[in-house]
Structure 1
Amino acid sequence: MARMTFDDYGCAMAKYNTWQNNVLYDLCDQIGDEERRRDRGMFFKSINATLNHLVHIDRRILSIMKTGNAPVYDAHTQVADDFDELRQIRRDLDAEIEAFVASDDRDWQDGYRKFTGVDGITRTLPRPLFLVQFFNHQTHHRSQITSELHKMGIDYGITDVPLTPDLGL
C-alpha cells in the first residue's frame, strides 16, 4: 500500500468538505429562514451569516492557492441573501475545490505568499499551508453551526473523515 501524499490529503479533505457541506445545508434547509437568521450569539451572530462567511473565506483561500492573491477580506461579507442561491454557490465552490485539488497542476505547491493575518503581522508562508488552513477553517465554523443545531435538538450525524463516502483511497 502506498503512502498518503499531500495531494491525497487535499483530495480526501475536498471530498469530506463536500459531504459535510451537503449534510449541513440539508439540515439548515429544514430549520427555515427565520431560524437561520436568528442572532444566536455566535461569532457571526447567525447561522446564515456564518454560512456566508465560509463561502467568502473559501473563495479567498482558493484564490490564494490558485494565484497567490486573494480578494479583499471582509469578515462580514454577505455572498448571497437567499439560502437557495447560497446553497448553489456552495455546491459550485465545492466542485471547484475538488477539481482544483485533483488537477495535475502542482506549481502552486512551490509558491509562497505574503500574508497579513487578523493579528496584523505579515508573514511569508508556503501556499500549501493555505490548503491546510482551508479545511481547518471550514471545520471550525461548521462546528459552530452544528453546535447550534444540536441546541435545537437536531442530530448532525457522523463527521469522521475516514467515513467519508466514496473517499477513493
Structure 2
Amino acid sequence: MAKMNFNDYGRCMATYNSWQNAVLFDLCEQIGDEERRRDRNMFFTSIHNTLNHILYIDLRILDILKTGQAGPYDARTIVADDFDDLKEQRIRIDREIGAFVDANDHAWQDGIRELQGLDGIKRKLPRQLFLMQLFNHQTHHRSQITSELHKMGIDYGITDVPLTPDLPL
C-alpha cells in the first residue's frame, strides 16, 4: 500500500490494539489475581483497575462515535470485577471496535460531536478525533501496566505498530 487514509488508519490501529490487548491480558492472567489487584501506586491503584478503566473509556468513546452521546463520567466505574469477565469483555469490545472501523459506511467521519468535557467546556469536535483518542488512551494506560510488569521482571515484548501481525494493508 502506497498511501494510508483514515479508514486504513482505523483498521490498522484496531488490529494493533487487539493484538496488544491480547498480549497484555495473557501476561496479566499469568501473574494471578492477587498481583493484579495489588495497590501499586498507579493512578487507578492496581493493574486490574487500570484494565477496567481502559475498557470503561472504550465503551464511552464507542458510544460517542456511534450516537454522539456518552453518559455521566465516573472514574470509579468497574465494568467487570472478575478477571475472566473483564477479559471476555475486552475481546468483545476489541471485535466491536474492529467491526466499527471495517463498516462500509464511513460517512460518520464527516460528523461533528458537541460534548461537554470533564473540564465543563463544551466543544465541537470531529468524530475522527474520538477514534484517535480511543487508540491513544489504550496505549497510554497499557504503558502504565507494562511498566508495572517490567518491575516484576516480566518482558512485555514488542509494541511497535509496524510489527503488528496481520495488519490489514
Structure 2 residues not aligned, in runs of 5+: none
Separation in 2 of the partners of 1:110 and 1:67? 14
Match in the other structure for 1:32: 32
Report the CA distance between 1:122 and its aligned residue: 1.8
Report the CA distance between 1:2 and its aligned residue: 3.8
Match in the other structure for 1:141: 141
Q: How does 1:1-169 map to 2 (within 5 A)?
A: 1-169=1-169
Report the CA distance between 1:66 and its aligned residue: 1.1
- For 1:140, give the aligned amino acid: H
Separation in 2 of the partners of 1:63 and 1:105? 17
Structure 1 residues not aligned, in runs of 5+: none
The TM-score with structure 1 as length reference comes to 0.97
Report the CA distance between 1:100 and its aligned residue: 0.5
Report the CA distance between 1:118 and its aligned residue: 2.6
Report the CA distance between 1:63 and its aligned residue: 1.0
Separation in 2 of the partners of 1:58 and 1:152? 27
Moved more, 66-75 or 17-26: 66-75
- The alignment partner of 2:45 has SS state of coil
What number of residue pairs does the alignment pair up? 169
- The alignment partner of 2:131 has SS state of helix
Moved more, 93-102 or 115-124: 115-124
- Whether the 8 Å CA contact 2:69–2:115 is kept in 1: the answer is no
* Residue deviations 1:88-110 (CA, integer Å, cap 9, x gap): 00000000000100101212111
Report the CA distance between 1:72 and its aligned residue: 2.5
- For 2:118, give the aligned amino acid: V
Report the CA distance between 1:20 and its aligned residue: 0.2
- The alignment partner of 2:43 has SS state of coil
- For 1:63, give the aligned amino acid: D
Separation in 1 of the partners of 2:69 and 2:49? 24
The TM-score with structure 2 as length reference comes to 0.97
